[in-house]
Structure 1
Amino acid sequence: MPRRNRPPRADLVGLPGAPRPLLTGALGWARTESSSDGDWMVRTIPGVQGRKTYRCPGCDHEIAPGVGHLVVWPAGVGVEAEANGTTGSEMSTEYDDADQRRHWHTTCWAARHRRRPGRRAAR
């Protein structure tokens, strides 16, 4: 018997154009971490979604594609933007400001208070 190809049901799949929560996306939710060096937004990047090479500021080694890691940025970025009167799409660009984001090895982020900043190796 032939199969009928029907589009997926709208109640099972997110409706197109439905608003998405702030700080989400293909990479998942960001959580807030507070410590002596301030408040930080932290997003976990699974290894399968790591597609570029980054340099970890904790150890100054490369984070190779396919390696799980963290993306960290100051939590106050969005608060400052809101206090300055930035709203809507302007504020979302403040959250996504690439100059504020840093990619860390998970263990380097956890040990950042116990070690000095990494030194750049000669290239």
Structure 2
Amino acid sequence: MPRSNRPRGKRPGDDDDEYDISRVLTGRRRTEDKRDGVWNVQPVAAASATKYYTCPSCGLEIAPGTPHTVAWRADGLMGEANDLAARRHWHLHCWKIKP
């Protein structure tokens, strides 16, 4: 019987979650301590950046296709939903120099 070189599909023991392409492109959410509190930070890859935003630090525009950072409070008093709704998009450099 001839051998088949065709892939058989995913095996039950394979774990592809670690190599998920969307996770690689967007990065992982993390928590950072800044002088004014604790922040949730999510990197946005250039391929995922599809809208115009205004950076709250420098006031300049973040154009589509520009990698940047999204940040929102992790320790807000009004609840997680309000903190997420108040998230802001920052230039990478502006977020790094934020005190």
Structure in which a larger fraction of residues adopt helix: 2
Alignment partner, residue 18 of structure 1: none
Q: CA deviation at 1:95?
A: 7.8
| 1:48–1:27 CA distance, 2 compared to 1 (3 A) | same
Residue segments in structure 2 that go unaligned for 5+ positions in a row: 17-22
The two structures have a TM-score, normalised by structure 1, of 0.56
Q: CA deviation at 1:112?
A: 2.4
Structure in which a larger fraction of residues adopt strand: 2
| 1:110–1:68 CA distance, 2 compared to 1 (3 A) | same
Pairs within 5 Å for 1:87-106 = 94=81, 97=84, 99-106=85-92
Pairs within 5 Å for 1:26-65 = 27-65=26-64
Pairs within 5 Å for 1:1-123 = 8-9=9-10, 11=12, 12=14, 27-77=26-76, 80-81=79-80, 94=81, 97=84, 99-113=85-99
Aligned amino acid, residue 110 of structure 1: K
Q: CA deviation at 1:72?
A: 0.2
Partner Cα distance (1:112, 1:45) in 2: 18
The two structures have a TM-score, normalised by structure 2, of 0.68
Partner Cα distance (2:72, 2:8) in 1: 39
Partner Cα distance (1:10, 1:72) in 2: 38
Q: What stretches of structure 1 move > 3 A for 4+ residues in a row?
A: 5-8, 10-14
Q: CA deviation at 1:96?
A: 7.9
